[in-house]
Structure 1
Amino acid sequence: MQPRYRVIKTAILDAIESGVMKPGSQVPSENQLAQQHGVSRMTARRALSEMVDEGILMRSQGIGTFVSDSRPMSSMLEIKSIRDEIERRGHRYTNEILVLETAPASDAISQRLAVDVGEPIFHSIIVHCENNLPVQYEDRWVNPAWINDYLDKDFKAQTANFYLNQVAPLSQADHSVEAVIVEKDIAQALLIKPKEPCLKITRRTFSRGTGNENGLAAVVSHAVLFHPGSRYRLGGHLEF
């Protein structure tokens, strides 16, 4: 038989996972939980305190205890490997490689990569998963001038971001973030409903590298990243 405080924790977790309690919902007080489960207030307090320590709940002094927003958060101000982010949270990283090819640069992509239209470039589409749940659909175009063996890399072992930074250390980037409804094939790959909102991050990375004779930053890759809004958020900390 489970200890009584764990029974309370399980009941709250079930309510969160079923959607009965959503992020921001207030949970019953210690007194209410004690009455509901026939336990002491101290037992109810232990259940809530452990869930606060685990980041599942958050306390607001004098107001109550609420369900935390448990979606993973990535920095808007830094570019990090999605694998590193997931493993730093103590979760399991896996991926599914959907496309890994050489393709001619379209007019739009040639402008983003600063290459000629029709020039062969590398293209990859990889779905990144956290505990087997898709959290990012990565559609990336790469300039072969920086990494001519891109297609030979083991993307099950490391991310595209990792390999690119080895040969073309990031010197600058531009990116934009917007809320979108994705196309059907992307929704299917992310295992979301057709009209579920996603975060779309469009990012172009540059490097001065060792092979760039004039020392000016040149484009390395252009990526479009889609994250289910229900599983991901962006944030950052600024000091002035």
Structure 2
Amino acid sequence: MFSRSPQPSPPVPFYEKIKQAISEKIASGTLRPHDRIPSEAELVAQFGYSRMTVNRALRELTDEGLLVRLQGVGTFVAEPKGQSALFEIRSIADEIASRNHRHRCEVLVLEETQASAEQALELNVKEGTRIFHSLMIHYENDVPVQIEDRCVNAARVPEYLEQDYTQTTPHAYLSRIAPLTEGEHIVEAVRAAPQECDWLRVKEHDPCLLIRRRTWSSSDIISHARLLFPGNRYRLQGHFMS
């Protein structure tokens, strides 16, 4: 009587091989939190697979909390809890508290609206989609230091309008409800509009710093924020490791 030969195991998909290789390096400590992962082009050259395959592997590792991807910066090993402190986008209240100063927020607008063409593009939703919009001014020791103009994916964060943003910040609330897995910063020097000059107590020609920030949780864009700072009251500082 002949015994049945064992059935061969199905081949491992190429993207899974990339995931396994990176995961093993993280587990062994070869890759440590904050270390930069090779670029997609470098991984294509290393493994010989297509860019689409490499991209899928990196996206799945990001969704699983092993990596953090920052557009325009690179892909990095996440902290064990799934969020990299190195690239953590801090709440303005936490920044102010770290200087032992007092934070205060004045909420100007907190509303439900329909996405304009520009807002729809930023949130990757259809024009006219129900979204939330907030506008507020953050103060440090009663001096205005930031105008925060934010639109939020209402489908992903349905209770956004119910929060008291004099007691917490949109960033703190969103980080709790939809933890950050990916972020994008666009920074530029601008002149504030007349109303913004009044709010920030700056002159019309004073330079201001504008940060356009989008954040993702898994594959969804959660919010887009337009953050405006007086140029003489804010310094952008980052720390990167290779």
Does TM, scored on the shorter chain, surpass 0.5?
yes
How far apart are 1:239 and its partner, in Å? 3.7
Residue 93 of structure 1 is aligned with which of 99, 103, 108?
A: 103
Aligned to 1:116: 126
Work out the CA distance in 1 between the residues paired with 2:106 and 2:228. 15
Where structure 2 has 5 or more consecutive residues not aligned to the other structure, the ranges are 1-84
Aligned to 1:234: 236
Equivalent residues in 2 for 1:131-170 (5 A)? 131-170=141-180
Equivalent residues in 2 for 1:1-40 (5 A)? none
Work out the CA distance in 1 between the residues paired with 2:163 and 2:241. 39
Aligned to 1:224: 226
CA contact (8 A) 1:171 1:207 kept: yes
CA contact (8 A) 1:76 1:234 kept: no
Where structure 1 has 5 or more consecutive residues not aligned to the other structure, the ranges are 1-74, 209-216
Distance change in 2, residues 1:76/1:227 (3 Å)? farther
Work out the CA distance in 2 between the residues paired with 1:109 and 1:76. 29
How far apart are 1:77 and its partner, in Å? 4.4
1:125 aligns with 2:127: no
Residue 191 of structure 1 is aligned with which of 190, 201, 208?
A: 201
How far apart are 1:78 and its partner, in Å? 3.5
The normalised TM-score by structure 1 is: 0.63
How far apart are 1:194 and its partner, in Å? 1.4
Work out the CA distance in 1 between the residues paired with 2:194 and 2:186. 22
Counterpart code for 2:110: L
Work out the CA distance in 1 between the residues paired with 2:239 and 2:217. 25
CA contact (8 A) 2:114 2:128 kept: yes
Q: How many positions carry a matched residue from both structures? A: 158
How far apart are 1:228 and its partner, in Å? 0.2
Counterpart code for 1:97: V
How far apart are 1:81 and its partner, in Å? 0.4
Work out the CA distance in 1 between the residues paired with 2:86 and 2:146. 15
How far apart are 1:145 and its partner, in Å? 1.2
Aligned-partner SS, 1:86: helix
Counterpart code for 2:229: H
Work out the CA distance in 2 between the residues paired with 1:153 and 1:236. 30
Aligned-partner SS, 1:148: coil
Work out the CA distance in 1 between the residues paired with 2:229 and 2:128. 30
Distance change in 2, residues 1:238/1:115 (3 Å)? closer
Note the alpha carbon deviations across 1:37-58, whole angstroms, 9 max, x for none: xxxxxxxxxxxxxxxxxxxxxx
Aligned to 1:106: 116
How far apart are 1:76 and its partner, in Å? 9.9
Counterpart code for 2:93: R
1:174 aligns with 2:176: no
Counterpart code for 2:221: V
How far apart are 1:233 and its partner, in Å? 0.7
